[in-house]
Each structure stands twice: as C-alpha cells, then as structure tokens.
C-alpha cells in the first residue's frame, strides 16, 4: 500500500487581479455592461447581423453586442462590477484573459478559455465577436 501525499490547501489567497495596463479596458467593459443591463437581450445567432464594420462607432457596437449575448453563450448571466472597483469577478477576469490571449496571438489559450465556458453550439459565434473586439484593441 502506498502512502498518500498530503499537500496544504491555501484558500485564503486573493484572486489574481488584472494588470494596470488592462484596467481601462475593464472599466470600459464595465461601463458598457451597466448600459447593456437595460437593453434587450440579443440572440447570439443574430448577433453578427447587427454589426456594421463601417460604422463610426464600431468598437462600441462590438462591445455592446458581445455583452448582450455573453449570458446566452455562458448559460448564465455574467457578473460585472461597477467601473472603478479594484476587485474583479471571475467573469471579468475570464473575458479579459480571452481578449488578451487573442490580441497576443495565443490561439491555444484562446481556444482553451472558450472550451472551458462556452457551449459548443455558440462557441464559433462568440469567438468571432471576441476576435472582432480584439482587432480594435490591437489597432
């Protein structure tokens, strides 16, 4: 019989926060999320038809569309905190991580993050929306 190795479990560690250079993006997403709460939900399969790449406010439309379908893609409503709050929710950290992976060209991490939370039938459309927003971040 082999002995079990017991490792200490540290549950008092705070969740990792976002980097300072990403905080403006997080606050932009949070502000948009507050306005999207009052908007009607958008069907994820109709989301791409709403977007017009030639629109002058295409970045705002991309963020708005992404946030309006995020609850359907996740299967639950995402948690966004108020703009300026130092702590972050799991949903905020996940979304920032996915956007940063896409902007860095880290397709493996991007795919892993999508596979970990987005339903299969909605993954391709949500990835397209995230990719569109990541394009604005790299310009």
> Where do the structural domains in the chain lie, given as residue ranges?
20-138
Are the C-beta atoms of 11 and 62 separated by less than 8 Å? no
Most confident of 12-26, 37-51, 114-128: 114-128
Per-residue pLDDT of 82-93, as tens digits, reads 988 888 999 999
> Please, how many CA atoms are within 13 Å of residue 42, restricted to the half-sphere of its CB?
24
**Average pLDDT rounded to a whole number, residues 87-109:** 94
Percent of the chain with pLDDT over 90: 35
Q: What is the pTM of this model?
A: 0.79
């Amino acid at each position: 019989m082999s002995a079990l190795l017991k490792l200490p479990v540290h549950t008092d560690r705070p969740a990792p926060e976002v980097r300072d250079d990403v905080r403006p993006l997080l606050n932009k997403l949070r502000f948009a999320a507050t306005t999207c709460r009052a908007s009607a939900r958008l069907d994820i399969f109709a989301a791409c038809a709403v977007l017009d790449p030639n629109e002058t406010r295409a970045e705002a439309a991309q963020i708005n569309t992404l946030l309006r379908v995020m609850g359907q893609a996740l299967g639950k409503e995402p948690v966004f905190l108020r703009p300026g709050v130092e702590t972050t929710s799991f949903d905020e950290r996940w979304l920032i991580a996915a956007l940063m992976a896409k902007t860095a060209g880290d397709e493996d991490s991007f795919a892993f993050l999508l596979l970990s939370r987005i339903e299969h039938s909605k993954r391709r459309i949500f990835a397209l929306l995230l990719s569109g927003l990541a394009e604005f971040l790299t310009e």
